Amino acid sequence: MSNLKGLGVALVTPFNEDLSVDFDSLTKLVDFNIKNGTNYLVVLGTTAEAATLSSEEKKAVTEHIIKVNNNRLPLVLGIGGNDTMDVKKQIEEADLSPFDAVLSVSPYYNRPNQEGLYQHYKVLAGTGKQIIIYNVPSRTGQNVEASTTVRLAKEFPNLFMIKEAASNINQYFDILRQKPEHFNLVSGDDEFTLPVTLAGGNGVISVIGQGYPKEFSTMVQLAFDGKVKEAYEIHNKLVDITRLIFAEGNPAGIKTILAELGIVKNYVRLPLVVASTGLQDKIKAEMAKI
């Protein structure tokens, strides 16, 4: 599974003005990322506004990305939820042949304790599929603690990676220090990408990366090569824009960048709304500096 290394991007779903899926822009987005150094693509993550896509749309978006990608980059498919048995069923019924792994967010809203989180992923591991644990407490309301992640990693080899997005960077370092050899960690927080990679992480599954794939993938590669000073030059250049794109929720910010680059149109589905004029102005000013 070492090919899921470097810059993975959680692709947005572009929409037309009538909020139907804009497949032409999706083609442009995939090609732009492939040509500019992205290492793998994540389909139907949070950034894709997957929560607001119908099952027919999810299928169409997935098939379109598979077709446009045409085996050029490894693919990861997001399948998660807060009903364990339903998530298990979805994983078992999905055609995963085009995908290297499933990215599965920890159960949200129910707020299970650590034992509940462990049992949830134990059931998913029972599918025999390659699964990436996704911990994002700011969205789920519950943290998968480092001890739980390490316990799962040691017991189930097909839980081979975590996308870690806890707000406390020490948690990333605890996992990296205690994990078994085969288990990988990628940053789920764009701003933590460089320090986490330098500490032994496998890179990032990124939002900002799809707007700046060349810069972001170069930064991660420099980190792998131990070229710390050069890597931090890129990191420092991108910190402000990375913070701006999350200021009013994701993917409102990254869609502003992608629209400015002429890759997608700037539309999101409710309950999200497009970035305010003030934020869009700030993002465009920062883009001009970069």
Residues forming the active site: 134, 163
Written as six digits, the tokens of 46 are 């949070």
Local structure of residue 80 (DSSP, 8 states)? -
**Going by C-beta distance under 8 Å and a sequence separation of 6 or more, which residues neighbour residue 122?**
152, 155, 156
- Rounded CA-CA distance 21/94 in Å is 21
Tell which phi-psi region holds residue 157, choosing left (phi > 0), alpha (psi between -120 and 50) or beta: alpha
d(CA 131, CA 137): 19
Partner residues linked to 8 by β-bridges: 40, 205
